[in-house]
Structure 1
Amino acid sequence: MSRNRTMRTLVLWCAFLLVHVLVAVAGWLYPSQPMGDVVLVYEPWSSAALSGGPIVGVTETWVYPQLALVPMLLAKILSVPLIAAMGVSEAYLIAWAVLVIVLDAIAFSVLIGRSPSQPRRAAAWFWVAALLLLGPIALYRIDAITVPIAVVAGLWLTRRPAVAAALLTIGAWIKIWPGALLLAAVVAARSRMRILLTAAVVTASIIALLFLFGADVEIFGFLTEQTGRGLQIEAVAATPFLWLAAVGSARIEYSFEILTFQIAADGADAVGAVLTPLMAVLVIVITVIGALKATRGAAFPRLFPPLALSLVATLIVLNKVGSPQFQTWLIAPVLLWLVLDRTRATAPALIVLALCALTCLVYPLNYDALLRAEILPVAILTLRNVLLVVVLVIGIRALVRVPAHRPSTNRE
């Protein structure tokens, strides 16, 4: 039995490493520059900061929270020994891939340990499959840094709540979405005050450090920068306008300010304007439902996963942006759901895997055709966006159905 468990663990690690190598190499082979952000944006930002130039988020307003610059700088430092042999771009890409793989490996080791249970093995296979189906976008974006942070934090929420809260707070200061898991933890966990206090201390420390570096109005620039965005073509709410573009009644235009393709059509700006308020309202409603369940004694393993998934899905479905890397946000809450309550997590896990595959078919494989508003990629993207809404509905439905009283035999 022990030998069988060891072999299963070894097979998991082999699959994990093989998939990461395949996905990393695919970034060099796939069309539409799936690694473009890393070399065209992250590397110049890190080079400027290290060479005495402008520091994004500190000396100038930035679209990301400030800690997003840290992994970019780490990749730049790691790339230095490789530059002479490969050139700046290639060295930075390899360094970035290595950084992400190392972080994923740390989280994977926390997930499976030496002898993983069946739910943890299922969660591990889910993660491996999601990476394979989503493709290079799962590695070559800043979002890839936050996924392992969120996975480790979620696994440690009940045993190391302060450390978990610190990790989720740091993750939110890299890319906002881990804040949804932090909010779910504050609502669902019995150690909510410790989690809330830790998050407040970490946030205050980060803000104080930014002040010391000279930032002031730039500190929350990542929030104000989002207000200028139009409706991106891959956003869920942009789906009807894409079909209008397919028949010539709308246009797809490139925004040089935001560096994304956006919809130009009557009503698009109005739709984009209401999405953020709607997102805020739905987040509040979902949080209130979760809080009511928690106050009535709902068990953490039943309450936290659907609450976390519902909040994360809300951030995607009601977002003016629909970037393909957003699908990585769904990996952590579904993985944690598989660990805590595998039976009820099966359906959302399968749907998220389908979302990953459909997203890869859109970007990078058929992105040029999508920009021409051809029917096939528009139809694939429509199916992807419909499934995102389905995930949100499944999460909310599961949240509403969480039993209000904790069974006496259940432990957090």
Structure 2
Amino acid sequence: MHGWLALVGLVLIPQEAFWDLDLYRYWMWLGLHDGQWPVLSGTWVYPVGAVVPMLVAALGGTGGGSSYADVWALLVTLLDAAALAVLLQVRRPGLPRSGATTVGAWWWLAFLLLLGPVAMGRLDAVIAPVVVVALTLALNHPRITSALLTAAAWVKVAPGALLIAVFVAVRRPWRSVVVPAAVVSVVVVGTVAALGGLPHVLSFLTEQDQRGLQIEAPGATPWLITALWAPSVTRVLNEPLVTWELHGPGTQAAADVLGALFFLALGAATLLLWWRREQLGDRLWSGGIVRTELLVRGALLLTLAMIVFNKVGSPQYMGWLAPPVAVALALRLPGWRTTAWLALGIAGATQVVFPWFYDGVVLGSPAVTLVLAARNIALVVLLVHTVISLVGPLPDDQPDALRRQDRITSASPAA
């Protein structure tokens, strides 16, 4: 499967699928040949940790025609293989090993295949397998999970939000989650400061403030549809960021509103998870599957909040959906069938839009525009479904679950 993704990105349509890798290669060339390192020499759109995987891929060379993209593809394949191995080891006691371990692994591979080359050719492809491993360890080893998620957040910000779900689901959150995250951050910031880049270490937080309403963002859907017939709404290339945005009546206001709603949505998700924790009370620490359900479903809720209420809608963001779902399926948590199918549909629709028919979106093709709109609606549906699942009875609350007393290793109250 990874061979196919690499074939598409390296051979069939490299400019469309793996274009970002040329940018990564160029940044590493500047660092290695001119000493102009991201963050150390100026502001950068990514956190400083993103230099690490980009520099690893530089083992293949940084010049034109080098093997940079090949090494990157190999790196992602190895990381995904490690995540797959972890999924194959996660199981609920009392279930046959084969029945308990293969569902999540097969789903993970299917999701990556449906998402397409963007699941390999972007920075997000490096952090997704790290998040898979982190979530499987969360309740037994929250300190390791906190360190992994924080390190991943210094590569791409999104995993940092999942620390909220871990914070809610462990008994001693300040000691088990906040302290390890702080230690990792101090090490990163201290290293950057020692190398002279302290003034720019947080530049990634402001570098994208000037973005408009990106054409793929869920919040852009009304204007995306309107643009099919109304000349007042236009598709404009933001050349500095190389992204397509929608310009027209209300688009800038929508971008501004989404900029605020993004943080409000994360805050609302945090309050919902904390309310659920308090409502569950002692049942949360009884050793059943309810705590694992709260953790994994909470991680998915936070992920969806970051996607749905975002003025940016890059296709690689859909990869953030995979880790919570894959872990839930590997643990055979009940009630995840609808979520799993919706996520697969979202991945497949995303690949149709990017990279295969992205020109159709830019040029206003009704067919591919409607596919993108349907994908965005599915994201909202999945968000609503996730909220309902969290507000309603969790699996351990069900009488049949209580009678069976199914317990899973990762839900041990030891943490």
TM over 0.5: yes
SS at match of 1:64: coil
Deviations 1:333-355 (A, max 9, x none): 11122234532111111101001
Within-5 A mapping of 1:87-166: 88-113=64-89, 116=97, 118-166=99-147
Structure 1 residue ranges without an equivalent (≥5) = 1-18
1:223 aligns with: 205
- Pairing 1:368–2:359 present: yes
- Higher relative contact order by CA 8 Å / sep ≥ 6: 1 or 2? 2
Deviations 1:274-331 (A, max 9, x none): 1121121121111111112223333311211211111000100111110111110000
The one-letter code sitting in structure 1 at the alignment partner of 2:266 is: V
Shift of 1:404: 11
Percent identity for Structure 1 against Structure 2: 35
Within-5 A mapping of 1:198-217: 198-217=180-199
Determine which of 363, 370, 377 is the counterpart of 1:386. Answer: 377
Deviates more, 1:184-193 or 1:269-278: 184-193
Determine which of 51, 56, 65 is the counterpart of 1:74. Answer: 56
- Contact 1:302/1:402, CA 8 A, preserved across alignment: no
Shift of 1:226: 2.0
Shift of 1:101: 0.5
The one-letter code sitting in structure 1 at the alignment partner of 2:360 is: A
Deviations 1:169-206 (A, max 9, x none): 01111111111222110111224231221011111111
- Pairing 1:257–2:240 present: yes
Give the Cα–Cα distance (whole angstroms) in 2 for the partners of residues 225 and 138 of structure 1.
24
- Contact 1:31/1:364, CA 8 A, preserved across alignment: no
Within-5 A mapping of 1:215-364: 215-247=197-229, 248-295=231-278, 296-297=280-281, 298=284, 299-364=290-355
Give the Cα–Cα distance (whole angstroms) in 2 for the partners of residues 114 and 346 of structure 1.
18
Shift of 1:405: 8.1
Aligned residue-pair number: 387
- Contact 1:303/1:399, CA 8 A, preserved across alignment: yes
Deviations 1:61-92 (A, max 9, x none): 11111101110000002x04xx8xxx744511
The one-letter code sitting in structure 2 at the alignment partner of 1:331 is: A
Give the Cα–Cα distance (whole angstroms) in 1 for the partners of residues 147 and 169 of structure 2.
17
Deviates more, 1:87-96 or 1:239-248: 87-96
Deviates more, 1:233-242 or 1:290-299: 290-299
1:10 aligns with: none
SS at match of 2:246: strand
The one-letter code sitting in structure 2 at the alignment partner of 1:369 is: G
Give the Cα–Cα distance (whole angstroms) in 1 for the partners of residues 90 and 252 of structure 2.
52
Give the Cα–Cα distance (whole angstroms) in 2 for the partners of residues 380 and 404 of structure 1.
34
Deviations 1:339-395 (A, max 9, x none): 345321111111010011100100111111111011011100000000011111111
2:392 aligns with: 401
Query: Is the alpha carbon distance of 1:195 and 1:364 closer, same or farther for their aligned partners in structure 2, counting shifts above 3 Å?
Result: same
Give the Cα–Cα distance (whole angstroms) in 2 for the partners of residues 150 and 183 of structure 1.
14
Give the Cα–Cα distance (whole angstroms) in 2 for the partners of residues 405 and 75 of structure 1.
45
Query: Is the alpha carbon distance of 1:117 and 1:166 closer, same or farther for their aligned partners in structure 2, counting shifts above 3 Å?
Result: farther
RMSD after superposition = 2.0
Query: Is the alpha carbon distance of 1:69 and 1:224 closer, same or farther for their aligned partners in structure 2, counting shifts above 3 Å?
Result: same
The one-letter code sitting in structure 1 at the alignment partner of 2:264 is: V
Query: Is the alpha carbon distance of 1:118 and 1:195 closer, same or farther for their aligned partners in structure 2, counting shifts above 3 Å?
Result: farther
- Contact 1:150/1:168, CA 8 A, preserved across alignment: yes
- Contact 2:134/2:144, CA 8 A, preserved across alignment: yes
Shift of 1:119: 4.0
1:181 aligns with: 162
- Contact 1:32/1:367, CA 8 A, preserved across alignment: no
Give the Cα–Cα distance (whole angstroms) in 1 for the partners of residues 358 and 258 of structure 2.
24
